[in-house]
Amino acid sequence: MEIEFSRRLKKLPPYLFVEIDKKKKSAIEKGIDIISLGVGDPDLPTPKHIIDAMKIAVEKPKHHQYPFGAGLIEFRKAVADWYRNRFNMNLNPQNEIHSLIGSKEGIGHIHLAYVNPGDIVLVPEPGYPVYNCGTIFSDGTPHFLPLTEKNNFLPDLEKIPEKVAKKSKILFINYPNNPTSATATLEFYERVVKFAQKYNVIVCSDLAYSEIYFDGKKPPSFLQVKGAKDVGVEFHSLSKTYNMTGWRLGWACGNKDIIAGLSKVKDNYDSGVFGAVQEAGVVALTSSQNCVEKMRKIYQNRRDIFTDELNKIGWSVKKPEATFYVWTKVPKGYTSADTVGKLLDEAGIICTPGNGLGPSGEGYVRFALTVSETRLKQAVEKISKIKW
Ligand SMILES: *Cc1c(COP(=O)(O)O)cnc(C)c1O
């Protein structure tokens, strides 16, 4: 029998991190000491009180059956309280919050609720690949919004042609941003709301990095802006805040009708988040947030060491205000791919080529600060030996 992938599957770009992982494995086989600053996956463990809560929850027979639906009401209430404390805004746990099997799952599925074949989805680039993959899976058409240094890595909504804006169903935004580490202001979010109202576009704000901020500068939520809840939803996750990427727990919140569409898709695809994981999530969100403060300090120290050391050896690297990414221009005369190749071959450093996350990322690389200070110092030491 001849097995043929669907057109949809063939249209997908190769998943970047699978490619990077292959290169990493082959370098390890050659006996090279690899320092991996590639994938954005926290190296720190999940805080102990959350693990302890999980151990208790996993024993409860009520969690051994299908969880179904929007999630435990206790979890949704915990999310609402967390939003109130952090962003001073109200969400109704009954219909404005929906649990997700990690936010990637919701970000990838929402298109199926709102995008018809040929509809346009506004996708920032460079960016998290899932915004585009979801568009392809729903037979939508991506219209890419370049994020450039000149615009502080914010999309220029004025530049979107009228014809495109009118056919657009969804606009994705993501601040603090992966990969550029840029942050957004409430003033930017106000412009987004105006755009969405004018063109009847659903806004999907990806807030995964809201708690990884430095120097006390707390990033805002899109939903804080007047009118935002009429036009959009926000995706959030425990993954980065509590080092829980493996647990798969996130949520969507905001406009209840938009949530209802996502819920309908999910009811037909999955059966919810493991109840015990949700119960541990309640403990994470409602306990003391000291563990988050500690984590921020660790990332901030890493950021300072890595950027200061790189600048000492002649790079010109800005300190990010948020996220655990350092997004920086490559040496003059090199492409992103050249630079990634040289860093791997000559220094054993894995990083992400900027153009792998979108054409406007050409000329940049992304380093993830997900290794210890000692390893980061070693990394710069190794980079300093490269002849450019
Ligand atoms: C890590 C990350 C997420 C979170 O993914 P989960 O599925 O919740 O683990 C979402 N958006 C971006 C941009 C990310 O980098």
* Atom number of ligand 1 nearest to Cα 178: 13
Query: What is the tens place of the pLDDT at every residue in 230-262?
Result: 999 999 999 999 999 999 999 999 999 999 999
- Atom 2 (ligand 1): residue with closest C-alpha? 208
* Atom number of ligand 1 nearest to Cα 177: 13
pTM: 0.96
- Cα–ligand 1 centroid distance for 252 (angstroms): 12
Regarding the beta carbon of 179 and ligand 1, being less than 6 Å apart is answered no
Confidence at residue 16, expressed as pLDDT on a 0 to 100 scale: 72
Q: Which of 76-90, 101-115, 229-243, 331-345 has the lowest mean pLDDT?
A: 331-345
Query: What is the tens place of the pLDDT at every residue in 194-222?
Result: 999 999 999 999 999 999 999 999 999 99
Q: 365: burial class by Cβ within 10 Å (0-12, 13-18, 19+)?
A: buried
Regarding the beta carbon of 239 and ligand 1, being less than 6 Å apart is answered yes
The fourth-level CATH superfamily of domain 7-46+290-384 is Aspartate Aminotransferase, domain 1 (3.90.1150.10)
Regarding the beta carbon of 180 and ligand 1, being less than 6 Å apart is answered no
Helical packing angle, 103-114 and 130-137, nearest 10°: 40
Query: What is the tens place of the pLDDT at every residue in 43-68?
Result: 999 999 999 999 999 999 999 999 99
How would residue 18 be classed by pLDDT, with cut points 50, 70 and 90? confident
Could you tell me the two tokens for 153? 């890595």
Cα(110)–Cα(216) distance, integer angstroms: 33
- Cα–ligand 1 centroid distance for 370 (angstroms): 15
Regarding the beta carbon of 250 and ligand 1, being less than 6 Å apart is answered yes
Cα(270)–Cα(68) distance, integer angstroms: 8
Q: Please give the class, per CATH, of domain 48-286.
A: alpha beta
Confidence at residue 23, expressed as pLDDT on a 0 to 100 scale: 79
How would residue 224 be classed by pLDDT, with cut points 50, 70 and 90? very high
Regarding the beta carbon of 211 and ligand 1, being less than 6 Å apart is answered no
What single string gives the DSSP state of each residue in 21-73?
Answer: HHHHHHHHHTT---EE--S----SPPPHHHHHHHHHHHT-GGGGS---TT--H
Domain ranges of the chain: 7-46+290-384, 48-286
- Atom 11 (ligand 1): residue with closest C-alpha? 208
What's the rounded mean pLDDT across residues 9-38? 83
Residue of 15, 43, 104 to test ligand 1 pocket, by largest number of atoms within 8 Å of CB: 104
191 within 8 A of 157, measured Cβ to Cβ: yes
Element (H, E) at 275: helix 275-286
How would residue 164 be classed by pLDDT, with cut points 50, 70 and 90? very high
Q: What are phi and psi of 289, to 5 degrees?
A: -95, 20
- Beta-carbon count within 10 A of 82 CB: 19
Element (H, E) at 350: strand 349-350
